[in-house]
Chains A and B, each alone.
Chain A
């Protein structure tokens, strides 16, 4: 009986081992995908794929076509003879001519596919995605990891939004249907962030520049650290480091008014050399900073709410605080937000002057 048990266990263990080994594809048989660029031309969908060779870690680009993202990706096997592996795909770049339907198709594949990377970064290309994926610096392909890390500078500078697939889907599928994506530009042999695109229902609406992005992040309390330079008559160029203390937007639907509250801490990074600055002048610099933030907010609101894009997710404010009112307003929300009046309550406090407050002449 004991022998029988041992044989039974052995058969089971071997069965499981063979079953597992039969399922797996060896790494050398895999085509490891690091980044995907999505474009549309006259003939249809074009994907530019960045792949990596495991042996020498060399990255190469492949181009495929298809009626859908999955079809195009599947045809990769015809070029490589390998099976695609999506778990290392860190970023998706959409070309500027990509329609909302193509974007939905691509995103749906990466959400649905069980082995895709869970934290894919999303970008929009200023021109074509192919230009970004095939971008070279000093005749060498820019590594795919560097492309995906480009949006992580949100924490360092606040001029770019770090948008992952989950963030984009979350905001796009909310009542506001708003999404953001950093815009990548290739020029002068370098890749850089040009600004941040606003999408409404997956359709591109507008682009926020660095200052507007920074102001937006401060208003939604996501700004960690940033920079703002003032060009003043009295002090010349004043560069400040900004630290977000808090930011809050509140809506009074009855009055159709929105209060934007931003509290910022600042420290002086540099003032044009030779300009005389007294301690009492810092109140004036604070005022100039506040005026600059207000002017950024004006432009930001014009670009978003002027086009019916609820970038501050004010609908959530109404939904959470006055649910019954939200039921009433929901059908006409996007037209209603165009008539909102915005009040700014900006506080800026310079709490560090640097080593010298008055440079010697």
Chain B
């Protein structure tokens, strides 16, 4: 008889790695037009977007530190769970849309998108159903693929460096910088999902804040370096390319590989699977405020199918028109669900504790 030891918790490092991969994967599928054709100013926008993310994550880390657990059977918790489920579904739609849109436009244009989306969802659902520990372990493996893949792409793309591609910051003012900061924050942030994932981090995880912050800084550095390399290597050619990081990998070569987009594809698919799996895991947990695990799983599968259909409808021009307008919705949702609500939880807990103390 085989006994499976399933640990339902992850370490602080595993949590930080999941967040790191989920936050940085936007770099692979972000379009030049989403950044207003201004990748160079986006380097500073990335820095500020990640800094904002770090500031807003303070309430989350305090919730973890104070071991606050919401009573999921209460009505407010159920309402909040429903809100979070909606956001997670919305977030997955955005992630999958970026993924499918890039596959359709550049990477695998001949591919049937619905089959592609379904394939990704099967992997992600499997990961989500297997539990947080499997996700944590998978993330550790993906991290190695990510680091090796990114290093190969970064180093080999330097052969394209040209000094005439150098730029100055904010030549056209601060408009693009502000817009790009909101875009990058919306696409990279994983705060609402982190609120759920943090409930499954080992209670005695040491130095979680330090690990989380260092991985977040690492994420910001990776994205900034990629943007910087894109500008220095592609220059004005960037204006003709929708997906800058894909382009540098397609143009780079190491003998005997003439182009490195195959490495890019592996890293890109692995990272998006971790992000979507973690979001689906969060959906599954929130659903348990209403139904039992089995039913929650069935609903998650149904929701996934719905997401695939929505993405299929959006794919093509429709999504390209709608998606940019959803950035602001996403930005506000992240602020509310990732910072305001956790801060309120913290305050309510503090008030309750002080009242309890007085009594």
CB contact under 8 A between A114 and B109, given known A166-B251, A170-B237, A173-B236: yes
B-side contacts of A115, CB under 8 Å: 109
CA distance A2 to B240 in the complex (A): 50
Tell me which of A19-27, A91-99, A350-358 binds B: A19-27
Looking at the complex, which one of A23, A170, A319 makes contact with B112 (CB distance below 8 Å)? A23
Looking at the complex, which one of B122, B160, B166 makes contact with A316 (CB distance below 8 Å)? B166
A20 touches B111 (CB 8 A): yes
B235 touches A170 (CB 8 A): yes
- Which A113-127 residues sit within 8 Å CB-CB of chain B? 114-115, 118-119
**Chain A residue at smallest Cβ distance from B241:** A111
A-side contacts of B240, CB under 8 Å: 108, 111-112, 169
Tell me if B171 is interfacial: C-beta within 8 Å of chain A.
Answer: yes
Tell me if B357 is interfacial: C-beta within 8 Å of chain A.
Answer: no
How close is B309's CB to chain A, nearest CB, in angstroms?
Answer: 16
A15 touches B164 (CB 8 A): no
- Which A165-182 residues sit within 8 Å CB-CB of chain B? 166-167, 169-174
CA distance A108 to B105 in the complex (A): 16
B115 touches A16 (CB 8 A): yes
CA distance A112 to B235 in the complex (A): 16
CA distance A167 to B106 in the complex (A): 21
A166 touches B168 (CB 8 A): no
A-side contacts of B214, CB under 8 Å: none
Tell me if A54 is interfacial: C-beta within 8 Å of chain B.
Answer: no
Looking at the complex, which one of B111, B168, B171, B236 makes contact with A170 (CB distance below 8 Å)? B236
Interface size on A, residues (CB 8 A): 29
Query: Can you list, as one digit per residue, whether each of A1-32 has a CB less than 8 Å from chain B (1) or not (0)?
Result: 00000000100100110011011100000000
B119 touches A323 (CB 8 A): no
Interface size on B, residues (CB 8 A): 31
How close is B250's CB to chain A, nearest CB, in angstroms?
Answer: 5
A-side contacts of B119, CB under 8 Å: 12, 16
Query: Can you list, as one digit per residue, whether each of A155-193 has a CB less than 8 Å from chain B (1) or not (0)?
Result: 000000000001101111110000000000000000000
CB contact under 8 A between A173 and B111, given known A16-B119, A118-B259, A313-B164: no
B164 touches A166 (CB 8 A): no
CA distance A174 to B234 in the complex (A): 12
Tell me if B71 is interfacial: C-beta within 8 Å of chain A.
Answer: no
CB contact under 8 A between A114 and B237, given known A12-B118, A323-B168: no
A114 touches B168 (CB 8 A): no
Looking at the complex, which one of B109, B115, B237, B250 makes contact with A19 (CB distance below 8 Å)? B115
CB contact under 8 A between A23 and B110, given known A170-B237, A174-B164: yes
**Chain A residue at smallest Cβ distance from B239:** A173
Listed by A's residue number, 6 A-B pairs whose Cβ atoms lie within 8 Å are A112-B240, A114-B105, A114-B107, A169-B237, A170-B234, A170-B237
Rank and list the top 4 A-B pairs by shortest CB-CB distance, nearest first: A173-B236, A23-B110, A19-B115, A170-B235
B interface residues (Cβ-Cβ under 8 A, vs A)? 105-107, 109-112, 115, 118-119, 122, 160, 162-166, 168, 171, 234-237, 239-241, 250-251, 253, 258-259
Taking A19-B111, A166-B234, A319-B168 as given, write out 15 further A-B residue pairs in contact, using a Cβ cutoff of 8 Å, ordered by the A residue number.
Answer: A12-B122, A16-B119, A23-B110, A111-B240, A114-B107, A114-B109, A115-B109, A167-B162, A169-B236, A173-B236, A316-B163, A319-B171, A320-B166, A320-B168, A323-B171
